[in-house]
């Protein structure tokens, strides 16, 4: 028996183009192999790759996609446990750091975390759109000119591209008609192939079948040919992994990989070949790893949402952007596991979400036999649904039983229940064919759900609420049975307000919350009070126009602050991961530099020049502060660090640079910046009763006649909330220290006297308590302002970080030493003119908001009138039309 030569195998593997010639690989596979993660990549990449494919048109492509289920369109089923929470639930934490996707739903844009990315996105989109229209024009001209000189095939190809782009450009780039790639992208199901053969047997032509079923002609042809030749409708199975490696080898390979997930394919091949003393090609290694479910993918700082799924989520959110009442008619559902965790004196109830699908995630510290309780629950916006225990593992028939016996009665109990749609996530069990059929039979409409998006499900927060309440429940549950009883009891006690609040906080625009709007107005009023004392920067070179000052006026200079972290593994290095899994990088390699910086339009970065350094030897050279965050490094950046920076660096440098000027320091609304001095009036630090661990607070005044009040009693102990309220005539019998609504952070303007802590926190002296950093700044004779929440477009330093990160991406090798060199250079690479331009953009936003232009319109105007610091009146009139 002869073996085919290596070369022949190679030829077989090589792809061919439509003319039978060897085709170049479509994507250059880098060291990390192909990312087979998602079918959605294909769509995204289509524009770039279009000229490598021949386009085939079919008018019902979009229907096909729907049929296949939009979220399972890739080769890999998407929504596994790993997708959501990583191997040990670590992504729940990671998810906390990522921007809430709701920013895309919100009519006003926001997000502190991913601002830079969002900006990039928007700019790219604009760019792409421009390119698109340009391309269409060019193609159109070319087609006209060349129609007589091109071959028919060439012409058709070009024409197809033109048509594709043209349709894509309709409807703002969301063209309804989609092109599919030829069948290489998708295999038919057995049923679909059966349909083809069925029609063919009835005497339909291939062309005819194509028209009826909407498959590409080549697919039809192949299916029929295969049937003719083999009598089978099953696709010939794709060639699997060549059996070059034994099973033992494979296990060893996986072990090698797990030792260091960041090694490159070459490293791994080398290590592996050496250890076995056989020669294995990197292709074999790659193929083997793929068949074991490992794919190389770019390591990400924020692993939670893959790029493709981010786009997907974005689209999902955009489609629901204008939803309002619609959110009231969704039934949210999910499973969760609760456990009792025993710890000497304490019993903890402890929830690990979604480990149901992964045995590896059971925590070994949990005593055997304590597997906890798996529950399933659902709710609508103003009505709690049932919660039941699920025993054993969940499979399709168990899930269907839940739907039939638990969900359906609840559904039927809802008024106008036909208006409701049902949400469950994309866990394979939820999407089983039998489950789909059940839903169809019972007219339950599914809510399409984006992958990797537990954060969009308000029930996630409901689990948290439930967990908190069960933990506080006394007596503590001692066993699983008791736990289940308490779970049910606490679940049924959950107030409708909490449910409404959960849905609203997930899906409604937090900018529209009255307190946020009010604060924004206050902020704008305040900052525009100062504007007349500030210099302006205008024109091509952003030249300074000094303010017109009265004899006693001082110039005010806005100094904006923020912190940003640069990571040593922000780079392109990859990690090996199971499909759908994006592990965090190993901690040891995850070194980073945090920068805390101050900028002003007047001078860019706050720093002294050579001469000033010589003349002021006691003043630091620059205001910037660095920190290497980490438990084993320099700890974490706290409010004390910031206060120290302001005190010892920022203020002295500012006063050296601009004697006789007043600084207006602007901070983000983060908790660090709002930290209070230890004797500050802070309701959350107080106890109801006197003494104990509560801090001694400073003296204060209250009431219309500014009555003095000491916060300490005759014994020198802190008075506690009750005594303070009694003295103010605000105490009422039966007041609790806290109420449940306050504990669950339910915001409600109308609630004023629910509990003692809430009452004291609404007192003017407590409300007016200034943060520690603000107190330091005021003591030095300067001013302080905090940006409104969710409005990072107003802090121009965000754009500065964006520019510095871009520079870092392009110039840093992301080794630790490389990062140390690059970060300062990256920051210095942004010049003062650019900083002034960033500031101009922020001023433009403020001006628009002040004039009542908000949301998308403001975004549009801020982009369109790039050279304006203020929006001219005639433009405003036009916008408001």
- Residue 420 or 758: the one with the smaller Cβ distance to Zn ion is 758
- Residue 756 or 772: the one with the smaller Cβ distance to Zn ion is 756
HSE-up of residue 240 (Cα within 13 Å, Cβ side): 6
Q: How far is the CB of 400 from Zn ion (least distance, A)?
A: 42
- Residue matched to tokens 């087609």: 143
Residue 381 DSSP SS3: coil
* 368 C-beta neighbours (distance < 10 Å), count: 7
Alpha-carbon span 27 to 366, nearest angstrom: 46
- Residue 707 or 736: the one with the smaller Cβ distance to Zn ion is 736
Q: 453 to 472, contacts with Zn ion by CB under 5 A? A: none
For helices 217-230 and 190-201, the axis angle rounded to 10 degrees is: 80
- Residue 463 or 758: the one with the smaller Cβ distance to Zn ion is 758
Q: How far is the CB of 324 from Zn ion (least distance, A)?
A: 29
DSSP state of 853: -
Q: What are phi and psi of 638, to 5 degrees?
A: -125, 180
Alpha-carbon span 799 to 792, nearest angstrom: 9
DSSP state of 456: G
Q: How far is the CB of 768 from Zn ion (least distance, A)?
A: 20
- Residue 189 or 736: the one with the smaller Cβ distance to Zn ion is 736
Cβ burial, residue 134 (10 Å; 0-12/13-18/19+): exposed
Residue 682 DSSP SS3: coil
DSSP state of 650: I
Tokens of 778: 């005021």
Alpha-carbon span 704 to 728, nearest angstrom: 11
- The radius of gyration computed from the CA coordinates of the chain, to the nearest angstrom, equals 32
- Residue 253 or 735: the one with the smaller Cβ distance to Zn ion is 735
Residue 132 DSSP SS3: helix
Q: 697 to 756, contacts with Zn ion by CB under 5 A? A: 739, 742, 754-755
- Residue 494 or 755: the one with the smaller Cβ distance to Zn ion is 755
Q: How far is the CB of 743 from Zn ion (least distance, A)?
A: 8
Alpha-carbon span 128 to 136, nearest angstrom: 12
Site mask for Zn ion (CB under 5 A), range 173-212, x = bound: ----------------------------------------
- Residue 756 or 777: the one with the smaller Cβ distance to Zn ion is 756
Tokens of 567: 């990571």
Q: How far is the CB of 755 from Zn ion (least distance, A)?
A: 3
Q: 327 to 356, contacts with Zn ion by CB under 5 A? A: none
- Residue 683 or 861: the one with the smaller Cβ distance to Zn ion is 683
Q: 755 to 814, contacts with Zn ion by CB under 5 A? A: 755, 758
Q: How far is the CB of 734 from Zn ion (least distance, A)?
A: 13
Q: How far is the CB of 738 from Zn ion (least distance, A)?
A: 6
Q: How far is the CB of 763 from Zn ion (least distance, A)?
A: 14
Q: How far is the CB of 487 from Zn ion (least distance, A)?
A: 24
Q: How far is the CB of 739 from Zn ion (least distance, A)?
A: 3
Alpha-carbon span 798 to 35, nearest angstrom: 31
- Residue matched to tokens 């038919």: 188
Q: How far is the CB of 723 from Zn ion (least distance, A)?
A: 19
- Residue 362 or 739: the one with the smaller Cβ distance to Zn ion is 739
CA angle 203, 206, 212 (to 5 degrees): 85
Alpha-carbon span 230 to 223, nearest angstrom: 11
Closest CA relative to residue 507, chosen from 377, 741, 328: 328
Site size with Zn ion, rule: CB under 5 A = 5
- Residue 235 or 754: the one with the smaller Cβ distance to Zn ion is 754
Alpha-carbon span 852 to 54, nearest angstrom: 50
SS (H, E, C) 147-190: CCCCCHHHHHHHHHHHHHHHHHHHHHHCCCCCCECCHHHCCCCH
Tokens of 424: 């469950």
The reply on whether position 427 binds Zn ion by CB under 5 A is no
Q: How far is the CB of 736 from Zn ion (least distance, A)?
A: 8
- Residue 758 or 766: the one with the smaller Cβ distance to Zn ion is 758
Do 138 and 146 meet the contact criterion of CB atoms below 8 Å apart?
no
Name every residue whose Cβ is closer than 8 Å to that of residue 692 and which is 6 or more positions away in sequence: 718, 720
| Residues engaged in binding Zn ion (CB under 5 A) | 739, 742, 754-755, 758
């Amino acid at each position: 028996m002869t073996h085919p030569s290596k070369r022949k195998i190679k030829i077989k593997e090589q792809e061919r183009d439509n003319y039978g010639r060897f085709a170049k690989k479509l994507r250059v596979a880098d060291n990390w192999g192909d990312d087979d993660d998602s079918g959605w990549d294909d769509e995204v990449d289509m524009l770039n790759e279009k000229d490598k494919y021949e386009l085939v048109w079919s008018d019902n492509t979009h229907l096909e996609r729907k049929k296949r289920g939009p979220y399972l369109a890739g080769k890999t089923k998407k929504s596994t446990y790993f997708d959501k929470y990583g191997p040990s639930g670590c992504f729940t934490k990671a998810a906390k750091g990522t921007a809430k996707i709701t920013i895309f739903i919100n009519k006003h844009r926001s997000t502190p975390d991913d601002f830079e990315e969002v900006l990039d996105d928007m700019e790219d989109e604009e760019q792409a759109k421009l390119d698109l229209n340009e391309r269409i024009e060019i193609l159109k001209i070319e087609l006209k000119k060349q129609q007589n000189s091109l071959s028919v095939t060439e012409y058709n190809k070009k024409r197809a591209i033109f048509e594709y782009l043209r349709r894509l450009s309709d409807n703002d780039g969301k063209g309804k008609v989609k092109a599919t790639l030829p069948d290489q992208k998708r295999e038919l199901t057995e049923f679909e192939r059966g349909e083809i053969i069925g029609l063919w047997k009835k005497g339909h032509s291939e062309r005819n079948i194509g028209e009826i079923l909407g498959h590409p002609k080549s697919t039809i042809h192949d299916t029929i040919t295969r049937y003719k030749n083999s009598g089978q409708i099953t696709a010939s199975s794709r060639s699997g992994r060549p059996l070059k490696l034994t099973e033992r080898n494979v296990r060893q390979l996986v072990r090698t990989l797990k030792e260091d997930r960041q090694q490159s394919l070459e490293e791994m091949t080398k290590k592996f070949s050496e250890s076995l003393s056989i020669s294995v090609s990197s292709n074999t290694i790659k193929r083997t790893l793929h068949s074991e479910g490992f794919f190389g993918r770019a390591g990400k700082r924020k692993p939670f949402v893959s790029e493709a799924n981010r786009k997907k989520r974005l689209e999902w959110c955009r489609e629901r952007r204008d939803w309002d009442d619609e959110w009231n008619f969704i039934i949210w559902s999910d499973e969760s596991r609760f456990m009792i965790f025993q710890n000497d004196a304490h019993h903890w109830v402890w929830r690990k979400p979604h480990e149901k699908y992964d045995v590896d995630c059971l925590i070994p510290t949990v005593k055997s036999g304590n597997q906890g309780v798996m529950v399933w629950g659902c709710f609508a916006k103003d009505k709690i649904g049932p919660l039941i225990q699920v025993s054993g593992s969940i499979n399709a028939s168990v899930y269907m039983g839940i739907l039939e016996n638990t969900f359906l009665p609840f559904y039927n109990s809802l008024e106008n229940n036909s208006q409701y749609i049902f949400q469950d996530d994309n866990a394979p069990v939820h999407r089983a064919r039998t489950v789909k059929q059940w839903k169809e039979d019972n007219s339950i409409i599914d809510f399409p759900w984006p992958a990797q998006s537990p954060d969009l499900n308000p029930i996630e927060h409901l689990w948290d609420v439930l967990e908190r309440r069960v933990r506080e429940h006394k007596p503590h549950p001692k066993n699983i049975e008791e736990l289940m009883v308490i779970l049910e009891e606490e679940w049924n006690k959950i107030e409708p307000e909490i449910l409404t609040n959960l849905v609203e906080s997930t899906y409604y625009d937090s900018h529209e919350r009255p307190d946020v709007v009010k604060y924004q107005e206050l902020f704008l009023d305040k900052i525009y009070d100062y504007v007349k004392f500030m210099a302006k920067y205008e024109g091509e070179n952003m030249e300074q126009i000094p303010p017109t000052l009265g004899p006693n006026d001082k110039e005010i200079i806005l100094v904006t602050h923020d912190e940003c972290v640069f990571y040593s593994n922000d780079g392109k290095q990859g990690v090996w991961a199971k499909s759908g899994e994006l592990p965090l990088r190993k901690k040891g390699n995850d070194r980073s530099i945090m920068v805390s910086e101050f900028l002003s339009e007047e001078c860019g970065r706050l720093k002294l020049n050579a001469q000033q350094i010589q003349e002021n030897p006691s003043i630091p050279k620059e205001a910037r502060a660095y920190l290497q965050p980490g438990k084993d490094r320099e700890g974490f950046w706290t409010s004390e660090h910031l206060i120290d920076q302001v005190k010892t660096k920022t203020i002295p440098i500012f006063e050296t640079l601009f004697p006789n000027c007043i600084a207006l320091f602007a901070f983000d609304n983060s908790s660090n910046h709002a930290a209070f001095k230890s004797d500050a009036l802070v309701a959350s630090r107080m106890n109801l009763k006197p003494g104990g661990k509560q801090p001694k607070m400073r003296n204060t005044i209250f009431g219309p006649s500014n009555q003095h009040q000491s916060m300490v009693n005759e014994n020198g102990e802190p008075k506690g909330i009750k005594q303070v309220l009694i003295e103010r005539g605000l105490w009422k019998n039966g007041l609790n220290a806290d109420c449940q609504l306050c504990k669950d952070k339910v915001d409600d303007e109308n609630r004023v006297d629910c509990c003692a802590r809430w009452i004291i926190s609404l007192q003017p002296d407590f409300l007016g308590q200034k943060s520690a950093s603000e107190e330091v700044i005021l003591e030095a004779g300067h001013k302080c302002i905090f940006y409104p929440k969710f409005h990072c477009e107003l802090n121009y330093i965000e754009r500065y970080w964006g520019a510095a990160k871009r520079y870092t991406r392009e110039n840093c090798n992301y080794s630790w030493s490389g990062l140390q060199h690059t970060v300062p250079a990256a920051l210095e690479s942004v010049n003062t003119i650019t900083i002034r331009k960033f500031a101009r953009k922020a001023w433009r936003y403020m001006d628009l908001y002040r004039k009542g232009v908000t949301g998308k319109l403001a975004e549009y105007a801020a982009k369109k009138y790039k050279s304006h610091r203020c929006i001219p009146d005639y433009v405003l009139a036009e916008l408001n039309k």
